[in-house]
A and B are shown apart, each in its own frame.
Chain A
């Protein structure tokens, strides 16, 4: 049996920051389904919001975030996010992050959507990548134990508290028991529930679903962010920085159509507003070939594109065959981020004792109904650090939680059965690939930017049918080294479970707020719906309830850009 006082699950920004904030006096380890430097945090391009400019203020950052969240964000958490930002950015600077600089030698900042000030610190358009690698360097410096290519299977719960985890080792095909006093989830989002997504293959909501199975409350799962600008066809991300640096969104008539949707902010309106505008243009017949619109950077000049957006340029040349310095890029919105997640307080604690969460897997809730660009990277480091510190504090003052041999044996036996190829079930012609394909198409087609009651109802019913089909399927090839089919089997299970919560939450919420837009309920309804959607597993089924939104300073107002 492996023993660590604190077990961090996930090796992206939030996980590594959590591990680094735990002192040498506490034994912590990081577990990751891929090598930490392969984490999807590395694909983040635009930047980290933090108030550094003399004319900017924490209050302004708080207000922009609250308004961006369509007033569903918890304002106490948002105040933490914005107040901790500047200090943590400078801390990252001392760790060696190669930030892009302004002429005076300080950190350069750029404008991202929904912000009243150029507030995002960045390193060209590799912002997530360079910080991920810098944190990895620091983890090496500290000698933190890393378990790569290990998959969390289950949180071991005894006496209603987490006492450890079952972990599947991809290389040895062994199930290990890890005892821990505190477990921090930093496993990211579930983007792969959608056919059209910017997310990596690894982003399958593992931690969210496993926490849910362990009894944790998930919150606001119906709020899914669709990024306005992804390369048409592949849905590879084109950073909001492309618009922050001055890019235009243009329809077939050569019009900068955002003038009709958000005359104040134009292309730098928040993502929910821009994604809806793009789909509306396409629906009204002003999309190219009926499917996409243009993101035009040609007026910015080759030097600026090469200097500030080198990755965007490479990606567009390779995957869309277009050099954005010379030709407009074909773009369409696609799933990008999960506002919802495992409910936590501002210290990172979930509703299950011994379990914390930070980053995209968590819902603290700083993004409410819509996240602003530059706030998720900030969230990973601010709340990753808080979760690490809190976990250490808790672990220091607590005895080892009880974990009985019976609990461990029962869990191991259950997984042994679950992961064995069962005889007779093959040959039905069904497969996880088919189920995944149907699920992801359904989510993109019916649980996307524009939603409507009848389609959501149908989506919930069909997801439940897919769940039934899934339960009849055996895993492929059983327990063998590097059996990715087995991982696929596990992942499809997580996606099905979370998709039901997303679609059912969207069906229940009969209003439009932030990224959740109902064609049949196009108005925000504060009287009925100014609250969080909580979901927890009870007797094998989701049980929904509502949670209060914390409003400290900014009463809900109409949101216009």
Chain B
């Protein structure tokens, strides 16, 4: 369990307009763990995620599942790293749910029967098997988010990378999605502002600001550090505050 599935060394990246997005990032992710990436808007969270499957290519060294990330290995890495984008309408670009989930497996060169089996299995995992023939445009927002996850699960990834998985979801669908993520027993890397979710499912947390890693450690330790959180435009989740404050329980606040 202690094997590093993602190893990033001295990664730096600047956007074409010269804006520095990442500076000397070093990060290791262990197999099976759930890593939360938190930080203010524009800190570089999404940029970092886009490096994990080689969409962006900064200076530095990245190894995913013991494969060095380079042009030759790009395809192998992309089938192992499932990337779920924030806006499900960007993720679901095919007309039907089936075709969307089949897109990845088909690009992996599976046979038709294998593709069908992979789609079925992915839909079972997100508990939406009866939506196979539906049209993506007709899905509700919560359903779109689930199907977006299914579109990468069908490729049988070993690492799941999610950008803001709970944004814009109502509490019930947010909870459903968090439970779904808990059930998926693979390595997960999640960039989010949803600190309660981080507390709920992430064992490890990385705090990023201005493109550098500020802090890294156990979820509860970083999230409970008031000075650290507030100096980087974040806050200590209310659930931790309430747990610490006995006066709150007596209604005296």
Decide whether A and B are members of one complex: no
